[in-house]
């Protein structure tokens, strides 16, 4: 009885150790299976920090995001390496065997010591027990594997917890660092008012049709370039083209450059200085008292029976994209800002007309090509 009862404590330990090893391995495997769970949070944080992981920036000063970014960036790698608890088939068999022996020995002794048995019955019960489970329990030692599993679980949960804490901290960081949500390029009502003070004069200048009217009057408004597409062959300046004509082309190129920089799209950063330059160039083009004679100075040249007006092709091209810029960038931007920040004004303001110029009827098919790539093509010397 003494020999069997003295092994009861070890039998219980073996059973608990075996269960602990199995449970810890399950925890490690489970955490390892979730190693990619933090990737989405990392993507969200990187986006909030300007979408450049190697050069992060925050909208607000003093926000400490460096540690969280570094932690989340290594989560997948750290969890992969930190949550690895490998067990061979021999290790598993040994653990299972010791667990079973300990459990069976405990059950055998417990049966012999039932309070319902007399002393004689208990003595007889112990006398019939075999020593198979007893010898197995005596020879079992899985404490090393238990300690290994315990340490592995500690490392795994510690690394996973670190990633989890970083994930929780990201909520506030993203809120503080994410780029300010803007509609039509404006994030606040004050900013919207400031932008409208710049955009409305530009809209007025774009709606001045002095140049287009002169072009129509001269019968030069239609033909090559008027659909916003340049000819595939390379054009050159014709000999004898008037300086006034060349000056017009130069002004249109100036308009193109300043307009792109001044209002770079519906939501781009507005550049007041460049926008004012654009307005100045448009006013110069539209209010030119000598516009009729200046247009007449553009040289016509006939080649293979086709009359080619080199400067006029270029001018039509810029006039088309000027109309596109007015309708699909400036007017839409003004409409978005007004509807977002001044709904009471938007409710009483008519929507901008987008079909006033016949040349814009082809804007949809041509629009699939990038406007800036058109304007920056080297087919003309710019």
Judge if 155 and 214 occupy the same domain: no
Residue 92 CA to chain centroid, in angstroms?
46
Cα–Cα distance for residue pair 148/151, rounded to 1 Å? 5
Q: pTM (2 decimals)?
A: 0.50
Judge if 132 and 234 occupy the same domain: no
Q: Is 44 helix (H, G, I), strand (E, B) or coil?
A: helix
Structural domain boundaries, residue 13: 2-177
Judge if 143 and 198 occupy the same domain: no
Cα–Cα distance for residue pair 180/291, rounded to 1 Å? 45
Two tokens at 347? 């409710």
pLDDT at res. 295: 87
Residue 269, classified by CB atoms within 10 Å of its CB into exposed (0-12), middle (13-18) or buried (19+), is exposed
Judge if 194 and 171 occupy the same domain: no
- Which CA distances in Å does 256 have to 273, 275, 318? 14, 11, 7
Two tokens at 145? 């594997």
Cα–Cα distance for residue pair 37/35, rounded to 1 Å? 6
Two tokens at 92? 């598993």
Domain boundary among the residues 177, 208, 234 is at: 177
DSSP 184-250: TTBSSHHHHHHHHHHHHHHHHHHH--HHHHHHHHTT-SSSTTTTS---SSPP-PPTT--HHHHHHHH
Cα–Cα distance for residue pair 103/11, rounded to 1 Å? 7
Sign of CA dihedral 183, 188, 191, 197: positive
The rounded average pLDDT for each run of 10 residues, N- to C-terminus, in the chain (382 residues) is 83 89 90 88 89 86 88 89 86 91 88 90 88 88 90 90 90 83 77 92 94 90 86 56 84 94 89 95 93 81 50 90 93 90 71 44 38 36 32
Cα–Cα distance for residue pair 62/49, rounded to 1 Å? 13
Query: What's the distance, Cα to Cα, between the start and end of the chain in Å?
Result: 105
Judge if 108 and 139 occupy the same domain: yes
Two tokens at 9? 């404590």
Two tokens at 12? 């219980």
Sign of CA dihedral 264, 266, 271, 275: positive
Judge if 303 and 241 occupy the same domain: yes
Judge if 271 and 225 occupy the same domain: yes
- Which CA distances in Å does 163 have to 23, 37, 136, 170? 22, 10, 43, 11
Judge if 161 and 261 occupy the same domain: no
Domain boundary among the residues 107, 142, 177 is at: 177
Judge if 111 and 239 occupy the same domain: no
Cα–Cα distance for residue pair 212/192, rounded to 1 Å? 31
pLDDT at res. 343: 85
Cα–Cα distance for residue pair 309/312, rounded to 1 Å? 5
Judge if 148 and 215 occupy the same domain: no
381 within a domain of the structure (yes/no) = no
Instruction: Kindly provide the b/e burial profile for residues 364-378, where b requires at least 16 CB atoms within 10 angstroms of the residue's own CB.
Output: eebeeeebeebbeee
Count of structural domains, the chain: 2
Secondary structure letter of residue 183 according to DSSP: B
pLDDT at res. 303: 44
Q: Could you give the angle at which helices 132-139 and 8-33 cross, rounded to 10 degrees?
A: 60
118 within a domain of the structure (yes/no) = yes
pLDDT at res. 372: 41
Sign of CA dihedral 119, 124, 129, 131: positive
Two tokens at 81? 């390496």
Judge if 170 and 259 occupy the same domain: no
Judge if 238 and 357 occupy the same domain: yes
pLDDT at res. 330: 94
Could you identify the residue written with the tokens 């978005």? 336
């Amino acid at each position: 009885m003494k020999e069997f009862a003295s092994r009861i404590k070890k039998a219980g330990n073996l059973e608990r150790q075996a269960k602990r090893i199995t449970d810890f391995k399950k925890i490690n495997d489970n955490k390892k299976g979730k190693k990619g769970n933090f990737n989405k949070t990392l993507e969200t944080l990187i986006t909030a920090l300007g979408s450049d992981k190697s050069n992060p920036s925050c909208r607000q000063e003093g926000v400490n995001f460096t540690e969280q970014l570094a932690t989340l960036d290594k989560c997948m790698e750290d969890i992969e390496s930190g949550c690895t608890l490998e067990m061979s088939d021999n290790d598993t068999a040994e653990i299972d065997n010791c667990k079973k022996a300990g459990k069976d020995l405990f059950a055998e002794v417990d049966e012999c010591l039932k309070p319902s048995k007399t002393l004689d019955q208990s003595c007889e019960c112990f006398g019939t027990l075999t020593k198979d489970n007893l010898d197995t329990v005596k020879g079992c030692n899985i404490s090393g594997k238990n300690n290994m599993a315990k340490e592995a679980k500690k490392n795994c949960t510690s690394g996973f917890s670190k990633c989890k804490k970083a994930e929780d901290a990201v909520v506030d960081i993203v809120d503080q660092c994410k780029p300010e949500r803007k509609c039509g390029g404006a994030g606040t009502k004050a900013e919207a008012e400031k932008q409208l003070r710049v955009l409305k004069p530009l809209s007025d200048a774009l709606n001045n049709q002095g140049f287009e009217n002169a072009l129509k009057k001269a019968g030069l408004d239609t033909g090559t370039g008027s659909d916003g597409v340049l000819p595939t062959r390379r054009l050159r300046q014709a000999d004898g083209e008037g300086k006034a004509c060349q000056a017009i082309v130069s002004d249109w190129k100036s308009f193109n450059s300043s307009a792109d920089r001044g209002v770079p799209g519906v939501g781009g950063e507005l550049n007041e200085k460049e926008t004012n330059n654009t307005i100045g160039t448009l006013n110069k083009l539209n209010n030119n008292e000598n516009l009729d004679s200046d247009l007449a100075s553009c040289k016509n040249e006939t080649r293979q029976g086709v009359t080619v007006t080199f400067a006029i092709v270029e001018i039509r091209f810029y006039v088309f994209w000027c109309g596109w810029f007015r309708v699909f960038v400036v007017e839409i931007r003004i409409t978005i800002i007004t509807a977002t920040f001044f709904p009471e004004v938007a409710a009483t303001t008519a929507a901008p007309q987008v079909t006033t110029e016949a040349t814009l009827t082809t804007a949809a098919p041509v629009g699939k090509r990038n406007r800036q790539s058109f304007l920056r093509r080297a087919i003309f010397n710019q």
